[in-house]
């Protein structure tokens, strides 16, 4: 295993629970060493090039931007024996990024865990309810999917040429959700609410569940109803305390209005005054 970060250490531990043996791992930081000590049952950390030649399966769990040069370096140094299964955990890339190693006889797999990681044993339980985005050459698809199943997760096939869109969709949902929730909490705090999380928890939990079940038909609120006056007040009030949040509100409201129109929730007549409010250029917009 190359990379004993939050993802790599947990996946290594999950594979160990499934009966595999981690024979070598690499990691540089103190946190990586601590994770290896806690999750990998005393596996010593060593140099990536030393790790690369020691196993039948090489798991590479490094940041996206670090993956291509690492793969090239391993291939140029003939560090990985032919016949080795090489799996990376990047969401952005499929197996094309492993082509330098494939050229020297390695067997490429892309196994992207669709969850956030703490780098602790808590993540091992969460893997049981998680999915992996899987990409591999067709003959290796059963191997890739079996590894995911062994970790207690659900393999979801993603074509090589769709990996970029796949990863963008996940990041758009997960990363921006955190921003929206934190932003809403900050606005509630400015409104004098002592415990914003208490209000947001039930509301957003229900909204997420409804959205996953019903898609656009779960839309509610003033934008979906065409309440232009309410939306105008929202924009004005948010702008008083956070122009950046107001700009985000307007952008999301425009997208919400478009989707509500397409879904038939917002009639063209109800939309006209709403779109006039959203279409005007606001002082806080570039």
Q: Please check whether residue 166 is in contact with residue 91, taking contact to mean a CB–CB distance below 8 angstroms.
A: yes
The answer to whether position 285 is within a domain reads no
Q: Is residue 105 part of a domain?
A: yes
Q: Are residues 84 and 138 in the same domain?
A: yes
Helix H or strand E segment including 157: strand 154-157
Structural domain span for residue 18: 6-158
Residues 85 and 19 placed together within one structural domain of the fold:
yes
Cross-sheet strand order for the sheet of 131-135? 57-60, 85-88, 107-114, 131-135, 154-157
Question: For the whole model, what pTM was predicted?
Answer: 0.88
Residue 240 sits in a domain whose CATH number is 1.10.1040
Q: What is the CATH number of the domain that holds 123?
A: 3.40.50.720
- The answer to which of 25-29, 105-109, 143-147, 225-229 has the lowest mean pLDDT is 25-29
Instruction: Of 135-144, 155-164, 253-262, 276-285, give the lowest mean pLDDT range.
Output: 276-285
pLDDT of residue 216: 96
For the segment 222-230, the average pLDDT, to the nearest whole number, is 94
Tens of pLDDT, residue by residue over 184-206, are 999 999 999 999 999 999 999 99
Task: Check whether residue 151 and residue 185 sit in a common domain.
Answer: no
């Amino acid at each position: 295993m190359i990379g004993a970060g939050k993802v790599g250490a947990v996946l290594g531990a999950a594979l160990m629970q499934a009966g595999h043996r981690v024979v070598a791992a690499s990691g540089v930081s103190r946190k990586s060493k601590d994770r290896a000590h806690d999750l990998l049952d005393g596996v010593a950390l060593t140099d990536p090039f030393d790790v690369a030649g020691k196993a039948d399966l090489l798991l590479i769990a490094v940041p996206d931007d670090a993956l291509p040069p690492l793969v090239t370096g391993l291939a140029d140094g003939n560090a990985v024996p032919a016949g080795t299964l090489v799996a990376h955990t990047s969401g952005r890339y499929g197996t094309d990024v492993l082509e330098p190693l494939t050229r020297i006889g390695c067997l490429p797999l892309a196994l992207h865990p669709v969850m956030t990681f703490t780098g602790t044993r808590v993540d091992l339980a969460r893997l049981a309810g998680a999915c992996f985005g899987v990409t591999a050459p067709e003959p290796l698809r059963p191997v890739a999917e079996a590894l995911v199943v062994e970790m207690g997760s659900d393999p979801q096939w993603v074509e090589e040429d769709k990996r970029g869109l796949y990863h963008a969709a996940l990041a758009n949902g997960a990363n921006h959700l955190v921003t929206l929730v934190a932003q809403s909490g900050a606005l509630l705090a400015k409104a004098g609410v002592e415990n914003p999380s208490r209000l947001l928890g039930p509301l957003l939990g229900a909204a997420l569940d409804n959205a996953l079940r019903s898609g656009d038909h779960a839309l509610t609120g003033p934008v979906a109803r065409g309440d232009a006056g309410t939306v105008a007040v929202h924009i004005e009030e948010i702008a008083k305390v956070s122009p950046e949040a107001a700009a985000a509100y307007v952008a999301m409201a425009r997208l919400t209005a478009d989707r509500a129109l397409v879904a038939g929730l917002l009639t063209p007549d109800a939309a006209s005054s709403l779109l006039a409010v959203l279409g005007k250029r606001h002082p806080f917009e570039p």
